[in-house]
Amino acid sequence: MNVKLYNTLGREMQDFKPINEKEVGLYCCGPTVYNYAHIGNLRTYVFEDLLRRTLEYAGYNVNHVMNITDVGHLTGDADEGEDKMEKSARETGRSPAEIASFYTDAFFNDIDRLNIVRPKTACAATKHIGNMIGLIKKLEAKGFTYISGGNVYFDTSKFDRYGELALLDRQKLRAGARIAVDDNKKNPADFVLWFTNSKFENHIMQWDSPWGSGYPGWHVECSAMSMKYLGESFDIHCGGIDHIPIHHTNEIAQSEAASGKKWVNYWIHGEFLLMDKQKMAKSAGNFLTLQTLIDKGYDPLDYRYFCLGGHYRSQLVFNFESLDAARTARMNLVERIAAMKLESDPTPVENLSPRAKELLENFNNGLLGDLNAPKALAELWQLMKDKDLGVADKLGAVFEMDRVLGLRLDEAEAPSVALTDAEAALVRAREQARADKDWARADELRAELLEMGIEIKDTAKGTECRKSVNR
Ligand code: AMP
Ligand code: ZN
């Protein structure tokens, strides 16, 4: 299967060709664990999960690495503000390590609930300080750094291709178009590799280094850890679009300056989730967590379905009406599949009928053309509603599709609520009537049960009852 992806580097659709034939190195910028992830952050992780699952579906082994930022990410991405971890620690009276551990667990709990496959390697920045120092030493030896005001800076004027990913204009950069708030910088775009006792003397997290006791800048962690786990050149790097102009631009500069090689071949970025036309952000105070949705009665997979309804490169506006629509559609799907499962087992994918294969192929075409999840979902519904296709074929194809969609459709069960004694007695009476071949009585009892919201199905395994629940 051929996967096409839109590469931010070059701004074009490209056929995906990994460095090694069947292996894919995938690095995704992970959470800064100073607070809960909001559903905007989670949209990005759902998109990255769709990418990983699609690559696996297409037959690749994916070595998926994600960092956990537990030091160095300041409240501003361009070295302004305070370390987010330290700020959270100060505000709550807990240690940065306690904060990190608590929110890392919360993050994994969220992604598990969204059926996002966990990365093969999740690496915490504080556990890789030695790798970061090693990288900075390499950059220093090659003349890409300078020390100013006690910090070690990356000199962007020494790296010719600086800003290529973000299409930054070098002339404008030199003239200071990007707001430079740090007088120690030679060029406005320069960034900190290592903070020593400069502006944050009370920083709790500090490590010894050749430049004095201090802590790493945020960007350096992703370069050092991705190269440790995926090598000096690998296939795909992902993140939200906000990372293009600063974080990813700086990651490229320091990685390629250190290795002298092209670092990443495909840069794939997810668009933002908006809340009332505004970016959802913790700083804007307009954010929702997954737990808030759960507390309001939604299933995390309703949110996953909602995310799949928008293409990852388009902005998606969140509101509860749209989430309700996603929930209704997902429940409809689950109920249909649950009913189908009572009728038949799925056809193994290799034995699907030509018609089922054709519909599955339509789904693949949607998906493999730059992860078009809305199109893929539409094809799934096309299959569900197909008049000519048998139940076993439908199930076989839909379970195959769900390897990528991750909606846990194979676990679909009709929502059932235990029958009361009186209801169970009626079901038994109907079974007796059937055994006595008293069809009129059996039908009468079925109608009576239906009236009470209980649907009856006679299967090879016996009577199946489904009691409708109010949702
Ligand atoms: P952070 O935890 O702030 O480092 O962000 C984690 C991920 O979420 C990054 O890839 C961001 O680009 C992404 N992100 C942040 N805000 C949003 C949003 N409103 N919608 C989608 N992704 C976002
Ligand atoms: Zn990163």
Instruction: Calculate mean pLDDT across residues 102-126.
Output: 97
CA of 111 to the centre of ligand 1 (A): 14
216 and 240 inside one domain = yes
- Residue 149 CA to ligand 2 centre (angstroms): 25
- Output the CA 285–ligand 1 centroid distance in Å: 14
Ligand nearest to the CA of 250: 2
Q: Which of 220, 240, 270 is the last residue of a domain?
A: 270
441 and 400 in a common domain: no
Say whether pLDDT at 186 is over 70.
yes
Lowest-confidence range among 29-43, 69-83, 101-115, 273-287? 69-83
CA of residue 58 relative to chain centroid, distance: 18
**Residue 251 assigned to a binding site:** yes
**Which atom of ligand 1 is the closest one to the Cα of 73?**
4
Q: Which residues have any ligand 1 atom within 6 Å of their CB?
A: 29, 31-32, 40-41, 43-44, 239-240, 242-243, 272-273, 279-281
Q: How confident is the model at residue 291 (pLDDT cuts 50, 70, 90)?
A: very high
Q: What percent of the chain has pLDDT over 70?
A: 92
For residues 37 and 108, membership in a common domain is answered with: yes
Q: State the total domains in the chain.
A: 3
Supply the CATH number for residue 296's domain: 1.20.120.1910
Give mean pLDDT, residues 264-291.
86
Which residue CA neighbors atom 14 of ligand 1 most closely? Answer: 41
End-to-end Cα spacing for the chain: 40
Residue 275 maps to a domain: no
Q: Indicate if 219 and 334 belong to the same structural domain.
A: no
Q: Whose atoms come closest to the Cα of 238: which ligand? A: 1
> What pLDDT is stored for residue 94 in this prediction?
83
What is the spatial distance between Cα 381 and Cα 375, in angstroms, rounded to a whole number? 10
Is position 284 within any domain?
no
Residues 199 and 69 in one domain: yes
Average pLDDT (82-100) is 81
What is the pLDDT at residue 470?
A: 41
Best probe residue, ligand 1, of 8, 26, 44 (max atoms within 8 Å of C-beta)? 44
pLDDT at 469 over 70: no
Q: Tell me the pLDDT tens digit for each residue of 206-259.
A: 899 999 988 898 899 999 999 999 999 999 999 999 999 999 999 999 999 999
pLDDT of the residue at 204: 74
- β-pairing, 23-28 with 234-240? parallel
Ligand 1 mutation pick, 45, 50, 242, 249, max ligand atoms within 8 A of CB: 242
Indicate whether 328 pLDDT > 50: yes
Among protein residues, the one with the nearest Cα to ligand 1's atom 23 is 41
Minimal-distance CA residue to ligand 1 atom 2: 31
* pLDDT of res. 46: 98
The reported pLDDT for the residue numbered 391 is 96
Assigned token pair, 414: 């009709």
pLDDT tens track for 24-34: 999 999 999 98
Q: How many angstroms is it from 390 CA to the middle of ligand 1?
A: 43
142: pLDDT strictly greater than 60: yes
222/204 same-domain check: yes
Atom of ligand 1 nearest to the CA of 279: 19
Which numbered ligand comes closest to the C-alpha of 255? 2
Distance 265 CA to ligand 2 centre (A): 16
Q: Domain limits at 170? A: 4-270
The predicted-structure confidence for 402-440, as pLDDT tens digits, reads as follows 999 999 999 988 665 567 888 888 998 998 999 899 999
Q: Is 299 in a helix, a strand, or coil?
A: coil
- In DSSP notation, 9-53 reads TTTEEEE---SSSSEEEEEE---BTTSPPPHHHHHHHHHHHHHHH
Which pLDDT does position 30 carry in this prediction?
95
Residue 283, in any domain of the structure: no
29 belongs to a structural domain: yes
Instruction: For residue 205, give the CATH number of its domain.
Output: 3.40.50.620
Q: Is residue 120 domain-resident?
A: yes
Mean pLDDT for 448-465 is 80
Alpha-helical (H) ranges within 344-420 are 354-368, 373-385, 391-405
Closest-lying ligand to the alpha carbon of 310?
Answer: 1
Q: What average pLDDT does the structure give for the chain?
A: 90
Q: How far is it, in rounded angstroms, from Cα 103 to Cα 33? A: 5
Domain C-terminal end among 214, 236, 270: 270
Q: How confident is the model at residue 283 (pLDDT cuts 50, 70, 90)?
A: low
Distance, in Å, from the CA atom of 91 to the CA atom of 3, rounded to the nearest integer, reads 46
pTM: 0.87
Indicate whether 391 and 428 sit together in one domain: no
Does 247 appear as a known binding residue?
Answer: yes
Tell me the pLDDT band of 385, cut-offs 50, 70 and 90: very high
**Are 258 and 300 contained in the same domain?**
no
In the block, which residue shows the tokens 């070690």? 152
Domain annotation covers residue 365 = yes
Is 28 annotated for ligand binding? no
- Residue 369 in domain: yes
Residues 260 and 389 in one domain: no
| 310 and 446 inside one domain | no
**Residue 250 near residue 154, CB atoms below 8 Å:** yes
pLDDT above 70 for 175: no
In terms of DSSP H, where are the helices of 144-243?
170-174, 218-230
pLDDT for the residue numbered 62? 98
**Is 282 among the annotated ligand-binding positions?**
yes
Mutating to test ligand 1, I would choose from 41, 73, 87, 99 the residue with most ligand atoms within 8 A of its C-beta, which is: 41
334 & 391 share domain: yes
Asked if residue 280 is part of any domain, the answer here is no
Lowest mean pLDDT among 99-113, 353-367, 395-409, 415-429: 415-429
Whether residue 137 is found in the same domain as residue 238: yes
- Answer yes or no: is 21 a known binding residue: no
pLDDT, tens digit, 9 for 90 and up, residues 244-274: 999 999 999 999 999 999 999 999 999 999 9
- Look at residue 199 in the predicted model and tell me its pLDDT: 58
Contacts of 84 (CB under 8 A, 6+ apart): 32, 34, 35, 73, 74, 75
